[in-house]
Amino acid sequence: MAQANFSCPYDITEIRNLGYVECMDILELIDTKGLEELEELQDLIIKLIKQSKNVADGQSAPGEAGNDSQATFTSSADLMNQIISRDREIKQKLNGIYGDLKSFFKMSQYASDPSLQHELEIEFKNVQEMVEEYAEELMCDECPIVVTGETSAGKSSLLNLILGSNILPSSLRSNTSTVCRLHNHEQKMIKVYDQSGKKLVHHGVFDYNISDDVLKKEMQKYISSEENPYRYVDIFWPIPFLGSQVVIVDTPGIGENSEMTSRLLDYLPKAVAFIYVLNSENAGGVQQDRLLRILDEQNKWREKGRKQTFDHNCTLFVCNKWDEVPESERDRVWNDTKAKLRCWPGFTESQMFRLSALEAERRYRNGLDYTGDFQNLLRGIQKMVPASFQEKVRQHAWWQEKLLKQILFHVTAHINNTRLSQEEKRIKKEKVEDRLRRLECDTEQVKRTLKDEAKMRWAEISEKLHAYINDQETVEKLKEWDIHTEIPERESDFDLIEREAKEIILAKVGKEIKSWCENEKSLSNIRNELANRFREEYRLLEEQCHDIDNLVQDVEGSIELDDVDVQEKEPSHRIPLFAGKEQLALVLTAPLWVPLMVLAFSMALPVMGVIAVKDSFNEKRMCKNYIKNKKAFMDKWADEVLLRFSREAIASKLEMTYLETFYKCLEQLCDSVIPRQIESDRQLIANIQQEERHSSTIRRQYHPLEKRCQYMTGKLLLVQMEYFYEDNIVNKNITKGEFLGKGSFANVYKAEIVIGDERKSAAIKCMTQPFENSDSWYSQLTEVSTLLKFSHGWIVKLFGISYEEVGSHKYLQIIMELCDFTLSSQIFPGNDGSPAPVASCSQFPLKSVEIKPSMEFFKRISTDVCKGLVYIHKKNFIHRDLKPSNILLQGKRAKIADVGLTKETDFITGTLTGTPCYIAPEVILMKLYSTEVDIYSLGILLWELWYGAKAYEQDGITEDRIFELFEQVKAGHRPSFCQRHVPPPALQKLMKQCWHGDIKCRPQAGKVFDTIEDQSF
């Protein structure tokens, strides 16, 4: 092709105005073979003008055909390599945690403790083997993009386009079960494996400039013969787009034999993307029976216990041969294809891509850029691959979190129960076992009740659908035949006529089923009701398990929440009690009509029968009769097909799909997950009762395990927040402003941050201890982890985290919403003796007019704090440092802040935490404690809010005299009501109940809210 000597009399801006003849005149000396469209000729002229100008200017010219398209591939390769590099980075960090777990199991304190080992083995089976297995699975570098398609859809043309060479035979896949795997490699070669997939039987290395025709003949030897003995053919080719790890797997799809189907399903669970090629030329394509059979086969594999983790959202549908669809028909074909693809679980239009592989290949061959449609497809793949990577590594992080949480639960249970006498342990064991027996009975009852209810409700659906299909109006509609599209035109081969006719009839029946399902309101209601019933029963059983856990930990049962407005938005990353690598899946992934359509197509075989050896005379007679009265034959065949849709057949298919899925969810929960939890708790409490060693000996054994577990949890939290909670991470665009305050572990500054395109004012909490310090990892990250679990109007909102690098150290920064004031700054006098901004209630007589603003402030702040506290307790957390300086005011709303000490109730081991004058006596005494410690602190806070003074200062006891204060509190001393104007009797009584020495006398946060709300100020 001419370069520098190319001459064109027109300016580059005028080329789009040229006609076909003018373009051909300009390109008279240029090879334009294969270019058919005017736009392609114009593109070629523009390209040649640019190349000539580059050469004239002394720049290197692209020159070679496909260079611009190669640049597209190269940039795609860079992006893909970045995606893979990030995925490898996450995997290495999670693999480090697997390594830490392996080391944990080798710690002498664990290795010498068969009791703890047995407790974990019950719940996680062979936990150490699972860690080894999952670590190996995590680090597997195989990243397959699985490709399959419909007959004559042009799948090979698409793959040849990606290869940049026309080497795959176009007949590939219609008659063979061989799998082709396309790898990116500088050296061109192929490797052929036998049917076992292990033995290499051929290794061919080719010259880089070998012709496509020679290679195609070589390939045909191994992948086009129906009887070939080969399982895999690996093609190594320069495909920069794939990067270093992604492999395109060309599978035969759902074929005429189980071996072809098995090849596809072998790869789907590992796929980072699944590309399904449709033949748009064939009236929109979508051989719906093939897609439905893929879903049906997956269900069968799942029923046999085969691992199926394929994410249906990672599917791309390529509408190939789009250039063959008439312009006037394209909208109709697109919409028809979209409607048919709704059978795919979770399908959205964004998964569909138009393409003409031949057009894109033609442009590539002539040195033009790839078509926009093909570049869109590449971008679609690039977008899908990281999402798939993310989900697969997220599953590992999820399982690690579950394991670490349970290890920590068992370790802290052993520590917490060291304070109990043998008699107390015996009593506790009896209580726990009684709860476990009740849980066993309830679990069995839930399974039985929901199974019976589901069967009854689906029987109703089966009956309704059967009545609809056999209704006279429906039958008449089915027998309305469009002579042009719904009656076979064939006039010979009666067996094929009947087969085609029944396929048409089955398609019409399927359309009616789909229409009925979409319009039947009771169907949607039943599905939703069953799903909600399952979730509700699941939640109740989960709560029972958590109550038992609290009892095992020596923390009394769950909180009875009052009817307080605590609306919340659940974070998407919340891990339920039963979360594991095998997530419970109740979701009915496909519409109801999908299994019934599978039923319709599966009925084709018994209805159509097998094409037998023909009787020539009878054959001609039957064909002649058909030609004379096509409608009569179509009506007769329609009746035969409808006979197959009996009540029993419909009910059976529903039971094999949705009911089977529903049952399996129930069985997984009721026969596996909960029983393992019960048995593990039963073993744990038995071990605790049998423990006769001194408490100090037990603590020496378990404290190192607890610390190690906290360290691993901190590392995992870091990975999760760095890679999985990206919306909550702000790594740049932070401008630190004025200093706002100082805490025990951090300094707080005002800051300006940018999230997306929005600039916000924020408060930034800068930790004073280096982030890399393992001792501070857990405590620093716990605050962020806790905030991530909270989303509530009366809790300070988290924007994200960032890091400040000082020398070789990193310091964690927590970025939160900026509030106006702390409560302490508004109710206490200044250090210089200046009066507090808000006058306290105690300054005015109860019935005076002047007290009204102060009373309103008291009521608003105290009820807001109660709302936030109810929410925290509902989440099974304890704040542990509730005080005025940790209550922030924003406008007229009070919000609870500083959750750095907040901890889940399961993991309270009697540590002394909090600010001295707000610490409950049970904490001072180093006893186990629960949410009641926050109620104690709330009582002190209410007193300070009323009086505008710090508790105990009127008695001359300040926080710097900690031990004297603690002795007074243990002795029952509390703030007095003798100063100035005292609170109303009901409020005095409430405060005394809150700080009562007996935790059973303290009210719940919701009850405190109700009492304050009911006061008439």
Quick: pLDDT tens for 691-727: 888 888 888 899 899 888 888 888 888 788 777 765 5
**Amino acid 55: pLDDT:** 63
Was 867 annotated as part of a binding site? no
Residue 840 in tokens? 């306290």
Spatial contact of 824 and 961, defined as CB atoms under 8 Å apart: no
**Amino acid 117: pLDDT:** 92
Mark residue 523 as left, alpha or beta (left: phi above 0; alpha: psi -120 to 50; beta: remaining). Answer: alpha
The yes-or-no verdict on residue 959 having pLDDT over 90 is no
Q: Which residues share a beta bridge with 278? A: 319
Mean pLDDT is lowest, of 296-300, 305-309, 434-438, 548-552, for: 305-309
Question: What torsion do the CA atoms of 401, 405, 407, 410 make, to the nearest 10 degrees?
Answer: -170
Q: Which residues share a beta bridge with 237? A: 184
**Amino acid 172: pLDDT:** 45
**What percent of the chain lies above the pLDDT cut of 90?**
16
The yes-or-no verdict on residue 969 having pLDDT over 80 is yes
Mean pLDDT is lowest, of 342-356, 440-454, 989-1003, for: 342-356
Q: Which of these, 734, 739, 758, 766, lies nearest to 750 by C-alpha position?
A: 739
**Amino acid 753: pLDDT:** 85
The yes-or-no verdict on residue 74 having pLDDT over 60 is no
The yes-or-no verdict on residue 141 having pLDDT over 80 is no
pLDDT in tens, 209-266: 887 778 778 877 777 655 667 888 888 888 877 777 788 888 876 655 566 667 777 7
Spatial contact of 856 and 964, defined as CB atoms under 8 Å apart: no
The yes-or-no verdict on residue 100 having pLDDT over 90 is yes
pLDDT in tens, 766-824: 888 776 665 566 656 765 666 666 778 898 888 877 777 788 787 888 888 899 988 99
pLDDT in tens, 601-634: 554 444 444 444 445 667 788 888 888 888 899 9
Place of tokens 């299909």: 469
Q: Which residues share a beta bridge with 752? A: 735, 761
The yes-or-no verdict on residue 557 having pLDDT over 50 is no
Other Cβ atoms within 10 Å of 1013 Cβ, number: 12
| Orientation angle between helical segments 422-469 and 660-667, nearest 10 degrees | 180
Would you list the DSSP string of 670-696?
IIIIHHHHHHHHHHHHHHHHH--S-HH
Strands 887-890 and 893-896: antiparallel
Residue 948 in tokens? 């505008």
| Orientation angle between helical segments 422-469 and 521-552, nearest 10 degrees | 170
- 510-515, Cβ contacts within 8 angstroms, sequence gap of 24 or more: 510/288, 510/593, 510/596, 510/597, 510/600, 510/601, 512/468, 512/469, 512/474, 512/477, 512/478, 513/465, 513/469, 513/593, 513/596, 513/597, 513/600, 514/591, 514/593, 514/597
**Which of the four pLDDT bands, split at 50, 70 and 90, describes residue 838?**
very high
Other Cβ atoms within 10 Å of 652 Cβ, number: 14
CA distance 395 to 311: 12
- 481-486, Cβ contacts within 8 angstroms, sequence gap of 24 or more: 481/630, 481/631, 481/634, 483/630, 486/634
**Amino acid 2: pLDDT:** 42
**Which of the four pLDDT bands, split at 50, 70 and 90, describes residue 560?**
very low
Which range is most confident: 92-101, 497-506, 908-917, 964-973? Answer: 92-101
Q: Which residues share a beta bridge with 146? A: 249, 274
- What does the mean pLDDT of the chain come to? 79
3-class SS at 755?
A: strand
The sign of the CA dihedral 653, 658, 662, 665 is: positive
Average pLDDT of span 351-373: 82
Mean pLDDT is lowest, of 139-153, 578-592, 890-904, for: 578-592
Average pLDDT of span 516-544: 78
Place of tokens 């068992």: 410
Residue 250 in tokens? 């060309």
Radius of gyration of the chain measured on its C-alpha atoms: 36
The yes-or-no verdict on residue 844 having pLDDT over 80 is yes
Spatial contact of 412 and 906, defined as CB atoms under 8 Å apart: yes
Q: Which of these, 402, 903, 415, lies nearest to 705 by C-alpha position?
A: 415
**Which of the four pLDDT bands, split at 50, 70 and 90, describes residue 196?**
confident
Query: Does residue 600 or residue 960 have the better pLDDT?
Result: 960
Average pLDDT of span 36-65: 70
The yes-or-no verdict on residue 576 having pLDDT over 80 is no
Spatial contact of 318 and 159, defined as CB atoms under 8 Å apart: no
**Which of the four pLDDT bands, split at 50, 70 and 90, describes residue 657?**
low
Spatial contact of 408 and 104, defined as CB atoms under 8 Å apart: no
Average pLDDT of span 351-357: 90
Strands 230-237 and 352-354: unpaired
**Amino acid 647: pLDDT:** 84
**Amino acid 1: pLDDT:** 43
**Amino acid 604: pLDDT:** 46
Mean pLDDT is lowest, of 332-336, 370-374, 645-649, 801-805, for: 801-805
Spatial contact of 820 and 831, defined as CB atoms under 8 Å apart: no
Which range is most confident: 388-397, 583-592, 600-609? Answer: 388-397
Query: Does residue 592 or residue 82 have the better pLDDT?
Result: 82
3-class SS at 601?
A: helix
The yes-or-no verdict on residue 208 having pLDDT over 70 is yes
Average pLDDT of span 453-461: 85
**Which of the four pLDDT bands, split at 50, 70 and 90, describes residue 584?**
very low
At a CB cut-off of 8 Å and minimum separation 6, what does 453 contact? 530, 533
pLDDT in tens, 26-38: 888 787 776 777 8
**Amino acid 859: pLDDT:** 94
Query: Does residue 535 or residue 147 have the better pLDDT?
Result: 147
**Amino acid 62: pLDDT:** 45
Mean pLDDT is lowest, of 76-85, 306-315, 513-522, 564-573, for: 564-573
Query: Does residue 964 or residue 748 have the better pLDDT?
Result: 748
Average pLDDT of span 437-462: 88
The yes-or-no verdict on residue 581 having pLDDT over 60 is no
The yes-or-no verdict on residue 132 having pLDDT over 90 is yes
